[in-house]
Amino acid sequence: MDIKKYDYVIFGAGIYGMYAAKLLASKDIRVALIEIDDKPLQRASYINQARVHNGYHYPRSVSTAEKSANYYRRFNEEFEYAIHRQFKKVYAISLYDSLTNAEQFKRFCDYVRIPAEEVNTSKYFNNGMIEAAYETDEFTYDAQKIRNALFEELSEFNNVDMIFSGQIEKAEIVGTDYQVCLKNGISIQTPNVLNATYASINQLLHFFGYDLFQTKYELCEVILTRVSSNFSNVGITVMDGPFFSLMPFGFSGTHSLTSVSDTPHETSTEQFPKFSCQTFRADCNENVLRNCNSCNYSPLSAWIRMSQLARKYLKSEISVHYDSSLFAVKTILNTAEIDDSRPTVIKISSNKPKFISVFSGKFNTIYDLEEVLL
């Protein structure tokens, strides 16, 4: 049997797997990047609100806010070509049902040292809906641009092999290495594995026989919309509770619409992602999660409910029209439920051979990888 040898094998070509491959390859390390989909960056790293977090979103988790703010500038500089900056980013505090009031939000921004300048609520919102609104410093990223750039960079390294449609079939320890067989017949030997599979993180851990993360999973819909020209250079997030965000989706020309109550269609609190739609597909199950966005059994859109919520808050001269829906599974650590934190957690399950998992809370915390890879 022909066995290919690598210094590192990375499972998952989302932003974390691709960035890890680049970090390692630039140190002359021989890397295999194995992705189950037929292209890179098709799941959570593409299907999300595309917010480059500067901390505002986490008034109840100062540690998450500070971490985001610390990485904010670095991420915006490194991925400058993919950062959409040309819009006003407004955070607003709902007058009703908010877990954070305006005074607390402002105090929190001052504490984390992120700018927030109060703006007139009547510019965007209906009377009596918003306690206060702030113009802030936050951008969105264009995942397609990042995907194309990272793919090109990785293609230029001759010490990186990218394997798409690569599904693991068998893994065993041979001496101080893992020997991994893929369903397409490729066999690989390596002393180091990085698990960067996000919603499939426990599936891969289970495959290798290691302890799992305590997580829950949400099958999420991000709705892409077309907004009127008076809103094209504005993004709004209403905080902190069952509200909504409407903001530019990178450079796509659309605005993503999400809401805390209706973006998640179904929640799975099992160890592995388990959703009712999986009964329609034998190949998507507790052991292997397929791409929800290219699946014929994704849920019906929650556009009516989400747009009604946005309409309740937004002035009638701002129009929002449905364009399309994107679906992906969000993965949340059980401990994060308490304070709404979104930590990125790196877990080492074995040292020799080495098995590392990166559970990512956010896109722009990729720099945490440096702690374990360099």
Ligand X SMILES: Cc1cc2nc3c(=O)[nH]c(=O)nc-3n(C[C@H](O)[C@H](O)[C@H](O)COP(=O)(O)OP(=O)(O)OC[C@H]3O[C@@H](n4cnc5c(N)ncnc54)[C@H](O)[C@@H]3O)c2cc1C
Interface pick for ligand X out of 54, 64, 197, 293 (rule CB under 6 A): 197
Interface pick for ligand X out of 21, 30, 31, 37 (rule CB under 6 A): 37
Neighbours of 200 (CB within 10 A): 24
Helix (H, G, I), strand (E, B) or coil at 269: coil
| Rounded-to-integer distance, Cα 266 and Cα 64, Å | 25
Helix (H, G, I), strand (E, B) or coil at 37: coil
| Rounded-to-integer distance, Cα 162 and Cα 19, Å | 13
Q: Which residue has the tokens 């092999």?
A: 161
Q: Which is nearer to ligand X, 37 or 161 (CB)?
A: 37
109 touches ligand X by CB under 6 A: no
DSSP 368: G
Burial class (CB in 10 A: 0-12, 13-18, 19+), 333: middle
Both tokens of 315, joined, read 């002035």
Q: Which of residues 204-223 bind ligand X (CB under 6 A)?
A: 204, 220, 222
Per CB under 6 A, which region of 81-89, 128-136, 198-206, 232-240 contacts ligand X? 198-206
CA-based nearest residue to 183, from 197, 199, 194, 171: 171
79 touches ligand X by CB under 6 A: no
Q: Which is nearer to ligand X, 121 or 368 (CB)?
A: 368
- 353: cis peptide before it, omega within 30°? yes
55 touches ligand X by CB under 6 A: no
136 touches ligand X by CB under 6 A: no
Q: Which of residues 302-321 bind ligand X (CB under 6 A)?
A: none
34 touches ligand X by CB under 6 A: yes
Task: Annotate each residue in 254-293 with x if it binds ligand X (CB under 6 A) or - if it does not, as one string.
Answer: ---------x------------------------------
- Binding residues for ligand X, rule: CB under 6 A, are 11-17, 34-37, 42-45, 48-51, 53, 168, 196-200, 204, 220, 222, 263, 328, 330, 360-364
